[in-house]
Structure 1
């Protein structure tokens, strides 16, 4: 069946979106610290932990073309629910180096702080599990992090901070 044309013009092809290419070039632990605070104190009875996880993300362009570095900083504290005494503190800076092509400039920031952390998170989760287990605690299996919600809340926080620092006329 022949394609129809209007006014003798060639049929129009739908415009294709640019093809996004992303490769994880490397990932590594930049910095890590684990303190077993509970081991320094006498333990009595069964202690129920209250675990808090803080996540901070950062991204920067590398010198090589189309390469970016994404840093995930996890700060995990565990305190006894009944006494509030610290049990352990884990700080982890986990870095992924990515080669990214085809992402429009205006979408690069959210891409770097949503998609890239999503790719490296399972590896950071495994490190947390292994370190807490090797540190004398049951393995801590982190819940999946909603990086879209994290990104949106950070954007809202920055907008609010900017509005608060801008003097009213």
Structure 2
């Protein structure tokens, strides 16, 4: 029998199920802004040196497919000349996500890369507004490479495990 050129529809198992991610909510869990310049008084023209530290955490919630992701930022500005702290901003910003159809072996990186990426524009805006409202030029955070951050954390954990496995 001759083929008519029709193609078979792919089997249901052949078609990957698309990932479903939805931001259910986001909020500031904790925030602290210390304006050291106003408290102690720093004189003269000060050239700032700004450092940013980022920490991430993810945990499963009691509801199926829901996760809470926490992004913790520590933004510190110091005088380049004296090293005195000008301001310190600590921000713990969290989001609640509904995530489905992510393979189990890819869930951890997904939660610590994709979810913080969704939250970052809001963190950037908060840091901008708080530094401006605190009497400093508004600070616009550079983009955070969450993939590199995840890889650094994995490497740190592997080194810690190697250190724990060494005989005394």
TM-score (norm 1): 0.92
CA distance in 2, matches of 1:23, 1:88: 35
Q: Are positions 1:28 and 2:27 aligned together?
A: yes
Aligned residues between the structures: 163
- 1:42-53 to structure 2, matched below 5 A, reads 42-53=41-52
Show structure 1 runs of 4+ deviating over 3 A: none
CA RMSD of aligned residues (A): 1.5
1:67-125 deviation line (CA, Å, top 9, x unaligned): 00000000111100000000001000000000011101111000000000000000011
1:39-81 deviation line (CA, Å, top 9, x unaligned): 1233322101111100000000001111000000001111000
CA distance in 2, matches of 1:27, 1:48: 34
CA distance in 2, matches of 1:41, 1:144: 32
Aligned partner of 2:10 in structure 1 is 13
Deviation at residue 168 of structure 1 after TM alignment: 4.1
Q: Are positions 1:135 and 2:134 aligned together?
A: yes
- 1:47-66 to structure 2, matched below 5 A, reads 47-66=46-65
Query: After the TM superposition, which of the residue ranges 11-20 and 110-119 deviates more from structure 2?
Result: 11-20
Q: Which runs of 5+ in 1 are unaligned?
A: 5-10
TM-score (norm 2): 0.92
Deviation at residue 12 of structure 1 after TM alignment: 6.8
- 1:1-169 to structure 2, matched below 5 A, reads 1-3=4-6, 11=8, 13=10, 15-168=14-167
Query: After the TM superposition, which of the residue ranges 89-98 and 43-52 deviates more from structure 2?
Result: 43-52
